Chain A
């Protein structure tokens, strides 16, 4: 491959400062939010118009150079990990909110707009954008579409796929197409469903139209302490069986509680085996009724203590503890590895017991943070990469947790994506025929495999090779 020729062709339409090719300047692009995996790209380009993105794709298509798209690189699965022989396409300059339509309750935004920035801009109209991944201060809407990001409120308000109405996409050949639209239904197959969560493998999102919702009149949070993790998990089912869908339902185990409490002083009961945060939102009347119901249900489920946040300040504090759980646990260990399996809630006790046994086998501590409403589990494995072999041990531990998630009827990834990280576990969750169907879908959009090749979907034969190499455990 001729680097100079590629540079020359890109420089014909991109200003010099938008093409990064020196090794030191490329360093910031070598990884995403999963720094265990690093790779310098051949070049990074930072276009700021849709036409430039189309031209980049045409040049790369012509020269058969693979392209990896990147938003804010907050992803946790190595989805935006560059390719050594590829171009990294940074979309950070696409950071404008193009229009907020108050009447139709939509926002048209560029892909590099931060998730939280949409809600901030919509606030003056009494509206907000519902999906709220923990990285929402930094992560961008383009990345959210690529990962189909969730957040703490998705049991009630859905994932990115439920809140994006339209995307403008540059194809691998450099064509601009529109998928979805400003109406609720659009003609043909639901290609928008395919784009959400496609990890940058089907097209480059260059614009999005998202749905906005009215800000709830009232939000209130309850914190319940339990002396047993399973009791806490069961109480979630009890609330839902009563016909109440909380806006958020988060659970933390004793390790995570202690770490968060030490870090932000949220007022959590540190002697509890588990706490549950239950947020109810809606009209004033609806919330009043539900608060009373949920309080009773939690007590009946064996909660040792149930507290309603006194005021908005305490509500924010309760949430701050939960949202800081990752860095809080991070303080206790040089490195941590965050997993993302989802399991049916009824199997939670079994899965937590399994994780705790594995923790002993691998001799690595683990803290559990859990989107209890939807079964999405984030075990944080603590390790020290400076100790020889510990990263490998953490990876193997993580792989076993994911395989356990699949075994009980769940999935290897609820919201972080497969990326580079979980590519081998795809072989556990899917049959070869299913993987082949995924590859065929990829080829329908990207016949020459130019976009983020090697991520998310294992390549043919790689599953059998992986099993041979690892001498599979099961």
Chain B
């Protein structure tokens, strides 16, 4: 990992783009190119903006430049016995922390620990006027001004270019085991919800269609007590890396991959294709050639939404359509951060 601050260069590039009215596609390593709608515009490369600006393990906070490789950041934290609580997927060896936050990606620990946005404490950004702005900070509690930092998480770079991000870190678990047991879909959903309602050190759940996997994290005695209560057979912890990075056999398909975010107690969906479950029931992956309209309406009826995660037609709707009231707010916010529509136009929704 290099220690290089290219803020000035990035700011100049944004300012030039504004003058030329030339949209840019913000990109780190390009590992998330598959995600969102088809990118347009000239590449604005952030991968050179690298390094840890500040890391205080005792304060549980790290401030990192957006182009820093996720793998490098994870290694720095691991050295001090800490980690990113939201356990983000990388989807590529060179994935950057900037791209991870912009996409708002969280991994297996999300239901137990929280999401990427939950752990964002502060950001420094360049907005669509070419101004460098800082929001939030390095402290856990901060209610001065609107929470613009968290707004950046998951905004797909459409509101501004992320320069640095301050993230809350957590200690690594003292120990971790994985238990497995075969069951039906409905039983898996029930079991996941039942366990989440009891004080147990469950840190991740996954159901592949046949087998329910449960990860326990914590002190050795706590894990043992949890194991006794939950039951099942011990298995290898590597399953979680495979699920997170979508290397698990479930994901090797040539059909479209849908990601359904639904209430955790939603029942099994009658849709063509294969489904697996994560996040205590709240995340359903679907490999299917079903009509996108049908997938979205099924998710919506259950009180959730659907994203066309990989494959399919990436020039149409990829993210779940917004209600009219929300769409107005989105257009207004886009206007307020990026009045000339420079950043990642159309990457999230066709309208902006």
Q: Interface residues, chain A, CB within 8 Å of chain B?
A: 101-105, 125-127, 147-148, 150, 154-155, 158-159, 161-162, 171, 175-179, 181-191, 193-194, 196-198, 202, 214-217, 237-238, 240-245, 282-286, 288-290, 342-346, 371, 373-376, 409-418, 422, 426, 429-431, 433-434, 437-438, 440-445, 447, 456-457
Q: Assess whether B150 is in contact with A285, with CB atoms less than 8 Å apart.
A: no
Q: Assess whether A285 is in contact with B337, with CB atoms less than 8 Å apart.
A: no
In angstroms, Cα B311 to Cα A401, docked, is 55
Residues in A neighbouring B305, C-beta threshold 8 A: 181, 183, 185-187
Q: Assess whether A240 is in contact with B141, with CB atoms less than 8 Å apart.
A: no
Q: Interface residues, chain B, CB within 8 Å of chain A?
A: 56-60, 81, 104, 110-111, 114-115, 117-118, 127, 129, 131-135, 137-148, 150-151, 153-155, 159, 170-172, 174, 193, 196-201, 218-219, 221-222, 224-226, 261-265, 279, 282-283, 303-305, 307, 319-323, 325-326, 329-330, 332-333, 335-337, 348-349
In angstroms, Cα B137 to Cα A353, docked, is 23
Cβ contact of B265, chosen from A104, A285, A430, cutoff 8 A: A104
Q: Assess whether B265 is in contact with A414, with CB atoms less than 8 Å apart.
A: no
Cβ contact of B279, chosen from A154, A178, A184, A186, cutoff 8 A: A184
Q: Assess whether B201 is in contact with A413, with CB atoms less than 8 Å apart.
A: no
Question: Would A283 and B323 be within 8 Å (CB), given that A183-B305, A346-B58, A375-B140 are in contact?
Answer: no
Q: Assess whether B151 is in contact with A190, with CB atoms less than 8 Å apart.
A: yes
Known: A104-B264, A193-B153. 16 other contacts (CB 8 A): A104-B193, A127-B197, A147-B143, A158-B114, A183-B305, A187-B321, A189-B329, A194-B147, A197-B147, A198-B146, A286-B201, A344-B138, A409-B137, A409-B138, A426-B144, A438-B148
In angstroms, Cα B142 to Cα A443, docked, is 22
Closest to B193 in A: A103
Q: Assess whether A126 is in contact with B147, with CB atoms less than 8 Å apart.
A: no
Residues in B neighbouring A286, C-beta threshold 8 A: 201, 218-219, 221-222
Residues in B neighbouring A125, C-beta threshold 8 A: 197
Cβ contact of B261, chosen from A185, A238, A245, A289, cutoff 8 A: A185
In angstroms, Cα B279 to Cα A198, docked, is 29
Q: Interface residues of A: mostly helix, strand, loop or mixed?
A: loop
Q: Assess whether B139 is in contact with A283, with CB atoms less than 8 Å apart.
A: no
Question: Would A217 and B199 be within 8 Å (CB), given that A103-B265, A346-B56, A443-B336 are in contact?
Answer: yes
Q: Assess whether A343 is in contact with B147, with CB atoms less than 8 Å apart.
A: no
Q: Assess whether B139 is in contact with A240, with CB atoms less than 8 Å apart.
A: no
Q: Assess whether B303 is in contact with A243, with CB atoms less than 8 Å apart.
A: no
Question: Would A415 and B143 be within 8 Å (CB), given that A127-B197, A183-B263 are in contact?
Answer: yes
Residues in A neighbouring B56, C-beta threshold 8 A: 344, 346
Q: Assess whether A193 is in contact with B151, with CB atoms less than 8 Å apart.
A: yes
Cβ contact of B144, chosen from A155, A194, A413, cutoff 8 A: A413
Closest to A414 in B: B141
Residues in B neighbouring A430, C-beta threshold 8 A: 144-145
Q: Assess whether B147 is in contact with A374, with CB atoms less than 8 Å apart.
A: no
In angstroms, Cα B305 to Cα A248, docked, is 36
B196 nearest CB across to chain A (Å): 6
Residues in A neighbouring B142, C-beta threshold 8 A: 342, 411, 413-414
